[in-house]
Chain A
Amino acid sequence: MLDDLLDNPLDPGYRLAFEARLARESASVGDKPSADRRWWDGPLLWLACLAVGVLLVVAYQQQHQSAPAREAARKDLIDRIERLQQTGDSLDGRAKALASQVAGLRDAQLPGNSEELKRLELTSGALPATGPGVRIDLDEPPAPTSAANGRPGTTPQEQVAVLHDRDIRAVVNELWAAGAEAVAVNGLRLTATSFIRFAGESVLVDFQPISAPYTIEAIGNRNALLVAFADSSIARQLKTMTAVDGITFRFTGKSGLRLQSVTVAQPHYAGLGTAATSSPSPSPSASESPR
């Protein structure tokens, strides 16, 4: 079939019609000089050529008109996303300011059990945490140069995106288990209901996409954290990945870390009630903190 396609690009209809005409003309010589040359052939051909011309122009114009329109729509969407993100950021900042104001007023009004409350707020992530701790740097292997591996962009995804959500999750869980009091990934403070998951190609922490290099900071007893983490299986696994896949993996003790506070989500409790008013039970967090 492919041979036929390559050898005979011309529609076989032409040959057939021509032979049919030859046969008819030889059969009826002189009667009608061109029996199958009907009156509509001329206008039809004319119309077909007209249609071809219009088609060419329309297709050209369509391509050139729709391209800017598509670009404009894309830009508009990006603008809207950025605007909404800014709105979200400013609202978040306002919520934090109001929360600190509330905390200040509460401390002034109820001087009693503020120590206990401070401690709980610190562990839940409602207060910024400062203190000694460890910092763990993870980074994807450097992108291979074009000389090493053919054309750029031909490297499989598994070789340039080695680190997954589970690696970061394992590190975080290890830090919690080692007694960390506060943990943040790329500056995002983790709370009891935080999760670390994978969506597409990016890691999501509390629905915020983060990308390499990943920085995981934990506040706690520095020596205990370092020893426990260095001894853990995830540290060994990451060391192996350093050798095999070429990822960057460092962990160092730090004396003065500061982790941002977050607006802690109000937990929903499952309760008895009618179907209409029952609130959903808290979903289990992906980063199973030991608290």
Chain B
Amino acid sequence: MIAAVALVIGVVLGIVLRPTVPLWLEPYLPIAVVAALDAVFGGIRARLDGIFVAKVFVVSFVSNVLVAALIVFMGDKLGVGGQLSTAVVVVLGIRIFGNAAAIRRHLFRA
């Protein structure tokens, strides 16, 4: 519950404050969003499974975002940034779908 409230407050904060993203950070933003979504879906599923641990969620969120950004950064330096971003999106996308399916099974028993 507090998580949902915090999420809404975060959204409102983002709309109100309108933080400007520095230019060098811009390419990592979409990847960071996908990584964050992966962590969120994993957390929701763990909650529904009854095995949610806040520490694991926080650590997985932070490390997901950082590692995704690092991979894209390294890819940019090596000249394969686009392909590595695709790889990150594919892997995280599969995980998001898997978790979403599990959540759906929990919620609808189907």
Which A residues have a C-beta under 8 Å from some C-beta of B? 5-6, 8-11, 13-15, 17-18, 21, 36, 38, 41-42, 44-59, 61-63, 66
CB within 8 Å for A53 and B2 given contacts A5-B91, A14-B46, A45-B54: no
- Is there contact, CB below 8 Å, between B98 and A49? no
Contact A13 B60 (CB under 8 A): yes
Which B residues from 2 to 23 make CB contacts under 8 A with A?
Answer: 2-4, 6-15, 18-19, 21
Contact of A56 among B33, B39, B65 (CB under 8 A): B33
Name the residue of chain A whose CB is nearest to the CB of B26: A62
- Give complex CA distance A146, B69 in Å: 40
- Of the candidates A8, A48, A59, A66, which one forms a contact with B58 in the assembled complex, judged by CB atoms under 8 Å apart? A48
Question: What A residues does B60 contact at CB under 8 A?
Answer: 11, 13
**Which residue of A6, A48, A62 has the most chain B CB atoms within 10 A of its CB atom?**
A48
CA distance A72 to B26 in the complex (A): 18
How many contacts between A and B, using CB within 8 angstroms? Answer: 136
Q: Is B51 an interface residue (CB 8 A)?
A: yes
Q: How many residues of B contact A (CB 8 A)?
A: 49
B14 and A14 contacting across the interface, CB-CB below 8 Å:
no
The answer to whether B29 and A58 have CB atoms under 8 Å apart is yes
Q: How far is the CB of A10 from chain B (nearest CB, A)?
A: 6
B85 touches A (CB below 8 Å): no
Sample 14 A-B pairs with CB under 8 A, ordered by A number.
A5-B95, A6-B94, A10-B98, A15-B51, A45-B54, A47-B6, A49-B10, A53-B10, A54-B19, A57-B11, A57-B13, A58-B21, A59-B29, A61-B14
Bound: A13/B46 CA distance, A: 10
Contacting B14 at CB < 8 Å: which of A9, A45, A53? A53
B102 within 8 A of A: yes
Q: Is the CB of B29 within 8 A of A44?
A: no
Chain B contacts with A in 22-72, Cβ cutoff 8 A: 26, 29-30, 32-33, 36, 39-40, 42, 45-46, 49, 51-62, 65
Chain B residues contacting A15 (CB-CB under 8 Å) are 51
Among all A-B residue pairs, the 5 with the closest Cβ atoms: A53-B10, A9-B98, A57-B14, A49-B6, A18-B51
Task: Judge whether A41 and B54 touch: CB under 8 Å.
Answer: yes
Contact between B10 and A51, CB atoms less than 8 A apart: yes
- From residue B18, how far is it (CB to closest CB) to chain A in Å? 7
B63 to nearest A CB, angstroms? 10
Given contacts A52-B61, A57-B10, 16 further A-B contacts (CB under 8 A): A5-B95, A6-B94, A9-B94, A10-B42, A10-B45, A10-B98, A21-B53, A50-B6, A52-B10, A52-B40, A53-B14, A54-B14, A55-B10, A55-B65, A57-B11, A58-B29
